[in-house]
Amino acid sequence: MADQKRWFKVWTSIVGNARFAEMSLEDIGRWTLLGASTALDGDGGVLGVPGRGRELCRLLRVDTIEEAKVVLDRVFSVRFEEGKNVNGELSVTWKNWKKYQEDSTVAERVKRLRSKRRGEEKREDEIQTRARLNGHDQGFDAFWTAYPRHEAKIRALKAWTALHPTPELTATLLAAIEQHKQRLWAQAPPDKVPHPASWLNGRRWEDELPTAQGKDPYANFPKR
């Protein structure tokens, strides 16, 4: 979230900063005014100085641009540059502007909050899922035992739960697994057997299988 150019941050660390301890109160005031002007009219920590720098002189309470350069040599975190911008004008550039001035705190808080909520939702989901795995769904246990590829059990349980299988459907699924084992997966390398979640989500138990005398789709794969 942007700060809408409403402020220039003066960090409390300046109280113990040795560089600020060497600056006069007048120069600290100039530094603050320059920072506020950069926040208001600058671009990413760079403040253009149009013309002969009269506005910069007015801001720093000096009479000439040469005096302004002397002031800028004394203050902390800024440098005076000539001919560096696209128009060849004078400019004042702040060091570490993005780090210390750009207001990203609100966005970061929102991001952390969303991440926390996602983490809590994921943990709750895992708790519920693991509770199911601990004997609360005997139909899934039978499916998992019968299915030849045991990977991504949590995903498989979610796919199973989404089907809301009745005892009749459970029996159909278990019978289909045996048919797939005999007529489709008998010669298949283990990594060619679909993940259990994919098999359920794709309703693969409804696939038309090759006949016993038909061509083995995995005949070209070496047996393991």
User: pLDDT of 182-222, one tens digit each?
Assistant: 988 988 888 889 999 999 999 999 998 877 554 555 444 44
Sorting pLDDT into bands at 50, 70 and 90, what band is 1? very low
Residues 14-51 have pLDDT tens digits of: 898 898 899 999 999 999 999 999 988 888 889 988 77
pLDDT of the residue at 87: 58
As a whole-number percent, the residues of the chain with pLDDT over 70 amount to: 81
Residue type, 141: D
Answer with the residue of higher pLDDT: 11 or 87: 11
User: How many Å apart are CA 70 and CA 130, to the nearest integer?
Assistant: 69
Tokens of 168: 């009749």
C-alpha distances (whole Å) from 102 to each of 1, 6, 7, 105, 176 are: 10, 11, 10, 9, 61
Count CA within 13 A, CB hemisphere, residue 58: 8
> Domain 12-100 has what CATH class?
alpha beta
Sorting pLDDT into bands at 50, 70 and 90, what band is 2? very low
pLDDT of the residue at 221: 43
User: How many Å apart are CA 81 and CA 66, to the nearest integer?
Assistant: 13
pTM assigned to the model = 0.44
State the CB neighbour count (10 A cutoff) for residue 159. 19
Name the residue ranges covered by the structural domains of the chain.
12-100, 104-136, 137-224
Residues 61-99 have pLDDT tens digits of: 999 999 999 999 998 888 888 765 555 578 899 988 888
C-alpha distances (whole Å) from 94 to each of 35, 50, 105 are: 8, 17, 20
State the CB neighbour count (10 A cutoff) for residue 219. 7
Is the pLDDT assigned to residue 179 strictly greater than 70? yes
Residue in the block written with tokens 């005398």: 213
Over residues 156-181, the mean pLDDT reads 92
| Nearest CA among 198, 202, 194 for reference residue 155 | 198
